[in-house]
Structure 1
């Protein structure tokens, strides 16, 4: 189930997977030891992923000899044997041979299954695979031997995957492998991935690469269900072209060789007639073509469809109307598929289905129909309580099993990003209760549109699904980064910094936690060198990854986010130097750095992800952290200048995609904040004016073209000095454009618009502004260019600028006059870098006349007034060939 949904519409996701009906918690009856971590501060055992249920260090070791003999049992898995032999050669063995018995003479022997492995494990004092559940295994290393024994062929293959991780990578023999005893089994029968998102489907090469990744991490299921494969949905009745079917066969063959079950998920719900014999025949005929290329597991997802509108009159006549009728119709079709196709194909795995109501545990007529009428050996998929469930508990899973009346396979919508294509979701699998896997038939994760970039999160999914009791989200996340970076320290640092910028999701509410912690530490101790080192790593991480990361797919997937990370790193380091200049009292240097920031931020915001429809989506990295740091540095500079600066916007509403709350105050009526949910009574958007100050006109412009009804239908404007006590300014109803005049003398630091009733429509705010009651009047010339204004030269925001339409003529002046005289020590004039010196005389008016205090000296001019009240400031232009630009004139 993909998650892309238009604003105001019910969201849905995508699904499919497989399991053995009636699965019970995967705990052996007599485990040899309680679960332990594979490593400890004093252990020499290499980290293993997923974390084994039981792993113990032994005091002895085995040595990789020049020649190694593999003694295989008669039914040893071929794929496991091939992996063992390759791993031994990668560990430094020159020659790996098969034999019926150990060679002696100090040569290393590796026993794979059979009586030899059982005796070798017994000789090491380790238990064999007896008593373990399916896919369990035992592995022992020590006393000059290695032994692997699987409960079944897949268990042996997983033992080989663990051995691969224990062995070193060496180009010559002689490596010593620490003595180790492992007894391991999965926490849940099915563990894997469902390619079930909307958007660009993965490439064939990416799918093959993913199957290799799943095998390495003991995932045993891949569900083929891309929402934008027309042959799965819109054209479900049509056969695949020969070349497409050949690709699916290659995937099936690769999956089987990797002990991964390939599941084919057909989604007929957009047009199927449930009671039609012809449609049943079309569905089973499609399944037959997939059976013929090796598929043995099938699913029928019925998500993201209407179940109140029938596709044929015959269904209404046969089943009636309503949710219960829809459940009965779906059960009727699925039971026929189950009995007439699945049951008729020996070797087929149990049928899977995705219900139309897949995201809660509330009883309903639809769920009751499935629970009572659908064949009990059909597996039901479920996303948790919510399309994207922030948490998932044992109690919820047990309730789902009860309400659906069938074994439950979770379709976990993480790290899928089709609903937030502006983001890479690079944080760990989180919020799932220990003990949950044992209550499920299995766990499948819906990944991102970007396959290689999904590997960080999928690594952690595999860790949790295999051994939830030992799972630590942060530790698993770090191990995923370590593996993807190939253990290279510099690459690890770069990848960790980059992954931190995409940490946030519904499962991980904190964005960029490591960067945020470094910024918070700087706020406490002021150690700029420490923070600069963190920001330098961030800025340089894209270059390091492009140079050193072996997985080139990850680079290709991440290109615009890598570019944005570099740009935000540069902007943040510039902001840090701005803060240092402010603290040092170097005003000219501070303005030079401040003036660079808008362009750096524009560049950082300019990078886009282009989706399959050609839409250009601005990408987000470390949003709310790195951009907030830059904004705060600019705010500190405003404070040092004595100006108010641009208000800071906030809201308690979720943000839809990249329509950030800061767009309410960017001065551009063409951009907007857009909520991701309808306002409730008490929901608000607000402004922080940074300091308490007199209030001028308050304006709130809501709604937009295409969404004219997305505004607060019933609300109030309020203001406050402490954000605790609020005074009502105005009430409004049924209007998207609100203007209010505060009473004379009103002062506040905070202004907000608050909903007084709940509503169904979402909220768009184009601009939210508060004029200053003590605004400076600007007059004179030259006239402002189109898109500019004279007032921008004294609006309290140095980021805006007055740009003249032409060069100044001799004698022209630009005059600034406040409503009342103010005491002043100096006048500061801010202009862009490269502004010419001597372009104008700076004059002040006090005591009834004008007097010259100096001339403009460049981008930053500060001139002493000499004390006393200043009634106005004037720039007397000397003429020239360049149209003047003034960012701000400040009386201090």
Structure 2
């Protein structure tokens, strides 16, 4: 069929206003110059006719060979496009008003965008319906509540994606929790009314969720009246759906003595008390207000399907028409199955509405969660009363994930995360390929979550291919794309709210792109044998990585939250690049630290090996039996001593209370070195001749406390010794000049005096082909380089610039020394190596 200049829009006397408005807009965007609304079918040959649930709809559907919507569930619709009885025809017909609105949304997606009539549209037949009743979003996170403007924008987004519920439950709205009894100030109530009205325009049910659990007296008639009175103020502005969340509260400590007298103690008593309160609200308010939707509640035990006295009381005593919200098995459930949903319905004894904690990020504040909805079994929506997703603190950035939530909730049978995600990227990019590619590259760096195990799958694959022998240019292109993406998005992404939400992550992406490309160039220089260029690039990396990690945003309490991007991929690539360079230099480098306990905020395992007692690794949970922190020395080395410093000021008990130090050659078979108990600082001498690549501290018992590690250090038996001077400056050490780690440096406290030298003596004399002296870029002090062979010092040459490599001719080297020039600036040495 063809979009004619004049389109006849056939409607009934009272068509659904949002559907009518949306249909007219879609037709005009497709090129229609004039839309004539009528209640009768126009004559044939008079241009395109569009039926919007008006007269002639059934006949037009029949002529198109499409079955009507009568047999569909609520919100279902049919949409037909083609020629019916020799007439260009579009038919939109819903099971109900919302269904017709959704038919108009699908028409909006199908019609082209043209500035003039004449566009041809292929014949289409759509018969569509949702996989579950409620589909939407619950604003239920901890942190800065969304702005009023953001909420209005979200409601438009939900309507466009056939979501039909928004639960207003921001944890930091005082009138929902601490001040739940108090009426809203007029200006705040007026804003909520604006949200209610906008929701109605988008066929979204605005749900008001009041959380009285912090102070309610369940047995109090006065409190029940206060709750119902508060609901009445919301009813008066158009709210028709209400919820009473009772999550994240204590149910063992009563708020009033009367509750203990009436209900007793324990979980069963708490369930009975909550059922009493909710039943009174259901019977005294919901049932007395015509048009009210079923009451919703969030139980205190919302995160599992284990039978308990609390759940039993709710199942037996709570009115059966109350919907129970449930997060799945776990507060953030990595997966959710049909059997789990059935078990939840059985144990709670009520219909289940999921509160799915994705893509919420209040528990991992530094990250955006931009990957698709995943891990939800096909068939799950059909077992539920509905699905509500808890979004991020960043509303506009949440849209990528919420797009895929909407897809799954509407049609889980056909849902495929990758395809839905690609569609989300296309839509947000506004159809611009360059913007879409930039958005894909940026979002890839924030893809991983508990639902999407692989972080940065595209970048990670490129990194793996490179280490497997792939073309470096391919990885460089991927890193350059990440670097360039922020500018492309800032220049061209239509959704400016996304740019504001993602601003510090965009800055970090650009910086990480630079750091990653520099690390790649370092590897290529090292492989090409260009030692000076490799050392120059390596010295740039610490500042580049520090810049990439420097960006933050303000949390609700004013604290700065550092942002995290492509964690475990970009930072690991830099570490692997440094390790590759270490091999080229013939040094082991800093041990690599890992932990089985997760990481709290930015307190990464690498902080336990940085030589700074003021920084620390901090776990994200309590220590469990067999949890371990492990050092990889990169090669098997002789061991002399192990030092472990745990706990910190303010967290003195955050250490492994019962544990064992162990070592291993392969990371599989472990040998015990020493037990430790009841102390935060542990030191163990290693028997002579002991060699290992891996060292770990393993918990032999569980505990309630988390783990802080300030430093975890291994002194190797094959380490060189450094003597001489000038003395090291505060915070530095002579040993740093030959500790096997080019990223640490010896810095002198003063200028050299006459005859002063710095001597590096390996653990045993070794045949060497060259001596390399690495110095910071700004090092100025001059020095002669001498090699001791058969007890005599032989001149090799002079230190020149940051990188000096001198041939030894295969001599059996006993030591090497740097003889300083008197009066030169204070010297600094990153590493002296003998190869």
Report the TM-score, using the length of structure 1 for normalisation. Answer: 0.92
Equivalent of residue 133 in structure 1, options 58, 69, 73: 73
Contact 1:421 1:609 in 2 (8 A): no
Counterpart of 1:88? 27
Counterpart of 1:101? 41
Counterpart of 1:31? none
- For residue 880 of structure 1, report the CA deviation from its aligned partner: 4.5
CA distance in structure 2 between the partners assigned to 1:106 and 1:880 by the alignment: 99
- For residue 525 of structure 1, report the CA deviation from its aligned partner: 3.0
- For residue 75 of structure 1, report the CA deviation from its aligned partner: 4.2
- 1:759-774 correspondence runs (5 A): 759-774=703-718
SS of residue in 1 equivalent to 2:575: helix
- 1:136-285 correspondence runs (5 A): 136-143=76-83, 144-285=88-229
Q: Does 1:110 align with 2:15?
A: no
Query: C-alpha deviations, 1:174-222, integer Å up to 9, x for none?
Result: 2111211100000000000000011100000000000000000000000
Contact 1:774 1:818 in 2 (8 A): yes
- 1:487-502 correspondence runs (5 A): 487-502=431-446
Counterpart of 2:513? 569
CA distance in structure 2 between the partners assigned to 1:807 and 1:475 by the alignment: 65
Contact 1:667 1:767 in 2 (8 A): yes
- 1:464-863 correspondence runs (5 A): 464-836=408-780, 839-863=782-806
- For residue 66 of structure 1, report the CA deviation from its aligned partner: 1.6
- For residue 820 of structure 1, report the CA deviation from its aligned partner: 2.2
CA distance in structure 2 between the partners assigned to 1:526 and 1:283 by the alignment: 65
Counterpart of 1:7? none
CA distance in structure 2 between the partners assigned to 1:102 and 1:468 by the alignment: 40
Equivalent of residue 397 in structure 2, options 442, 449, 453: 453
Q: Does 1:875 align with 2:818?
A: yes
Contact 2:640 2:688 in 1 (8 A): no
Count of residue pairs brought into register by the alignment: 830
Counterpart of 2:246? 302
- For residue 106 of structure 1, report the CA deviation from its aligned partner: 5.2
- For residue 810 of structure 1, report the CA deviation from its aligned partner: 4.2
SS of residue in 1 equivalent to 2:247: coil
Contact 1:419 1:657 in 2 (8 A): no
SS of residue in 2 equivalent to 1:722: coil
Which segment drifts farther, 712-721 or 675-684? 675-684
- For residue 682 of structure 1, report the CA deviation from its aligned partner: 2.0
CA distance in structure 2 between the partners assigned to 1:823 and 1:525 by the alignment: 32
SS of residue in 2 equivalent to 1:843: strand
- For residue 811 of structure 1, report the CA deviation from its aligned partner: 3.1
Q: Which has the higher contact order (CA 8 A, sep 6+)?
A: 1
Across the aligned residues of Structure 1 and Structure 2, the Cα RMSD in angstroms comes to: 1.3
Q: Does 1:77 align with 2:20?
A: no
Contact 2:593 2:605 in 1 (8 A): yes
Equivalent of residue 6 in structure 2, options 67, 82, 91: 67
Contact 2:10 2:55 in 1 (8 A): no
- 1:256-405 correspondence runs (5 A): 256-405=200-349
- For residue 762 of structure 1, report the CA deviation from its aligned partner: 2.0
CA distance in structure 2 between the partners assigned to 1:71 and 1:359 by the alignment: 50
Contact 1:666 1:767 in 2 (8 A): yes
SS of residue in 2 equivalent to 1:279: helix
- For residue 696 of structure 1, report the CA deviation from its aligned partner: 2.1
Contact 1:103 1:109 in 2 (8 A): no
CA distance in structure 1 between the partners assigned to 2:469 and 2:706 by the alignment: 42
- For residue 109 of structure 1, report the CA deviation from its aligned partner: 1.3
CA distance in structure 2 between the partners assigned to 1:545 and 1:885 by the alignment: 43
- For residue 538 of structure 1, report the CA deviation from its aligned partner: 0.7
SS of residue in 2 equivalent to 1:469: coil
Which segment drifts farther, 799-808 or 318-327? 799-808
CA distance in structure 2 between the partners assigned to 1:728 and 1:372 by the alignment: 54
CA distance in structure 1 between the partners assigned to 2:43 and 2:786 by the alignment: 100
In structure 2, the gaps of 5 or more residues are none
Which segment drifts farther, 733-742 or 440-449? 733-742
- For residue 324 of structure 1, report the CA deviation from its aligned partner: 0.9
Report the TM-score, using the length of structure 2 for normalisation. Answer: 0.98
Which segment drifts farther, 96-105 or 824-833? 96-105
- For residue 774 of structure 1, report the CA deviation from its aligned partner: 2.2
CA distance in structure 2 between the partners assigned to 1:820 and 1:731 by the alignment: 32
CA distance in structure 1 between the partners assigned to 2:562 and 2:724 by the alignment: 40
